[in-house]
Amino acid sequence: MTNAFAEQMEQARDLRLELTGLERGDEKEFLFQEWSPGRTMVKLWSLIDGEEITIPKYMVGPALMKRQRGGGYVFTSDPAKAPAFREGHVRCFLAEGSSERDSGLLEAAGLDHLPACPAIHLRSAYSKRIHGDNRHPQSSGALKEYLALKERTEDREDRRRQLEATLALAGRVAGESDDVASGPRRGRPPRS
């Protein structure tokens, strides 16, 4: 079995050794180019949601053999067999026009300096959370930490206001009970 790549590299090495004996003026006539075709990309369509994906040609076979839990295939090469694809309308929290950016939440959390994310067609809030955790783990963590701190602070304020209202109500009730104790007694007389 021959190793074609190794043979090509050996021939290039030998050719370079032959060129070292040439004068500087003669070197300009020779041009070394690599003719690697690169990866050939192929389009497939998901039979689950109709999304078009582009994958390298060498991965097409395994992708077409992949099955769903129900037994059907996951991908097809025919877009007519796939369901119509619907883009999502949920934006990444770092995207331009996202609710977090427009409301000033990113600015309050100190994340407004980060560049905008191009993900503007996520499918759901769940996809948004997963995207944030995978693509922007530090920023997502910082935003979650800020929101948790803000929620704890608001909860403490609510409890403090509730305690003050309860104490004020208890104070009024205590004042009324003093007035009742000094007034005439109603009901049955005490047993003797």
pLDDT, tens only, 94-116: 999 999 999 999 999 999 999 99
What range defines the domain where residue 147 resides? 87-171
Read off the amino acid at residue 62. Answer: P
Q: What number is the average pLDDT over the span 11-40?
A: 65
The structure's pTM equals 0.54
Residues 92 and 153 in one domain: yes
18: in domain: no
Residues 161, 94 share a domain: yes
Cβ contact 139:114 at 8 Å: yes
* Structural domain includes residue 129: yes
> Rounded to whole angstroms, how far apart are CA atoms 76 and 78?
5
Tell me if 162 is assigned to some domain.
yes
Domains in the chain: how many in total? 2
Q: Do 93 and 167 belong together in one domain?
A: yes
How far apart are the C-alpha atoms of 57 and 61, rounded to whole Å? 8
- Indicate whether 113 and 162 sit together in one domain: yes
List pLDDT tens digits, range 159-176: 999 999 999 988 887 776
Are 58 and 98 in a shared domain? no
Of residues 33 and 151, more confidence is placed in 151
Burial class (CB in 10 A: 0-12, 13-18, 19+), 140: buried
